Amino acid sequence: MGIMQPFIGTLELNNPLQLSGAGGWYDASLGNAAEFNNPVANGDKVTQWLDLTGNNHNANKSGANTTKPTWQSNQQNGKGTLLFASANSQYMNVN
């Protein structure tokens, strides 16, 4: 997969499948199985973040828990988020 380019402009979509040619669509707001393959709870380390476009460009992370991002509930406008700590070189690989 090549370099993803940022989108600049206004986008009003409720369904990621409406965006043709999308490299990936990732949503951490709910912490449910549709987003992470398994439901997550506040403070859980995330090993897989699912691509909601259906293109299967899932983000994955293996290895020690210190290298995995943490799901946090009720962080951004009452929604869940993923916390990536740069001090621990936390990142995910996209396939």
Which value, in Å, is the radius of gyration of the alpha carbons in the chain?
A: 14
Tokens, residue 23: 């490299």
Q: Which residues, including other chains, have CB under 8 Å from residue 74's CB and lie 6 or more apart?
A: 42, 80
Counting residues of the chain whose pLDDT is more than 70, the rounded percentage is 77
Reply yes or no on whether the pLDDT at 13 is more than 70: no
Please give the pLDDT value at position 71. 92
User: pLDDT for 59-87, tens place per residue?
Assistant: 999 888 888 999 999 988 888 999 998 87
Run of H or E residues at 47:
none
Task: Collect contacts of 39-44 with beta carbons under 8 A, ≥24 apart.
Answer: 40/71, 41/71, 41/73, 42/71, 42/72, 42/73, 42/74, 43/70, 43/71, 43/72, 44/70, 44/71
Per-residue pLDDT band for 2 (boundaries 50, 70, 90) equals low
The pTM for the full model equals 0.73
